[in-house]
Amino acid sequence: MAMPRCEGGRIMYWWFLIMVMLCSLVLGCQCAAFNDFFYPSWALDHVMSQGELLQLKLDPTSGAGFASKNTYMFGKANVQMKLVPGDSAGTVTAFYMSSQGDQHDEFDYEFLGNTSGEPYVVQTNVYSNGVGNREQRIFLWFDPTADFHTYSFLWNRQQAVFFVDDVPIRVFPNNEKRGVPYPQTRPMGIFSSIWNADNWATQGGRVKTDWSHSPFISTYKNFNIDACRDSGPQSLMRRCSLWWDQPVYSSLNAKQSMQLKWVHEKYMIYDYCKDSARFPTPPAECA
């Protein structure tokens, strides 16, 4: 009986290796170190690596950013982040997905800095066919500077969902039947950056960056991409029919719907759909 167990173990071991290789090479299913699938995209001397941690630094000379080496079509991407502590007024740390070109698609997290003691504001936005202006803002229900928290995008043909620690904070459903363009034709890269935006980021630009508190540092770990990597136009859509296209991911479940309602009722401070000054006629997706 020992030999069959040994042979079975070898078979399972090689089958596991084959599946890992296929996942990495074909599907883009990745969970690894920063350098495996990202690179510093600007201000290389402001991108710092400390073991498993990556840090982006903002000082009076520059901000910094990184970008994925590949683009992706549908799936899930997330990272654990610890935001700038203390007086971070005027700064913005962003984590986002974006395609290229004038009619680009984009999903944004923008973490707006604050004066010490105030809650952090998260602004989300969605672009489709180059059209954005879909901002929502919420307060976070925890201190994002005290520990790491997970920020995620889930993107498929039916919906794009923004998650914070697996709690949905925003859903952008496919409303093409209402004439609303939906991002589903352009592969997107994954990016993050930190920069000075004191002309608008904190209290509408009334509070400026206090450079005596610099450098401002955002910290990252546990990068994870489980998505379909774009390797050319041939059969891209067909190859992306994977777990995220299962019916269970076409909409929020009952628990997630309650979580989203809780976030919006307790922590939402701005919703473009309710801004009649900007949009006297509500956008079609807000109906």
- The catalytic residues are 106, 110
**CA dihedral sign of residues 283, 90, 86, 95:** positive
Question: Cα separation of 126 and 182, whole Å?
Answer: 10
Cα dihedral 189/190/191/192 (nearest 10): 170
* Phi (first) and psi of residue 62, to 5 degrees: -175, 160
Residues listed for the chain: 287
The whole-angstrom distance between residue 107's C-alpha and the CA centroid of its chain comes to 7
SS (H, E, C) the chain: CHHHHHHHHHHHHHHHHHHHHHHHHHHCEEECCHHHHEEEEECHHHEEEECCEEEEEEECCECEEEEECCCEEEEEEEEEEECCCCCCCCEEEEEEEECCCCCCCEEEEEEECCCCCCCCEEEEEEEECCECCCCEEEECCCCCCCCCEEEEEEECCCEEEEEECCEEEEEEECCHHHCCCCCCCCCEEEEEEEEECCCCCCHHHCCCCCHHHCCEEEEEEEEEEEEEECCCCCCHHHHCCCHHHCHHHCCCCHHHHHHHHHHHHHHEEEEHHHCCCCCCCCCHHHC
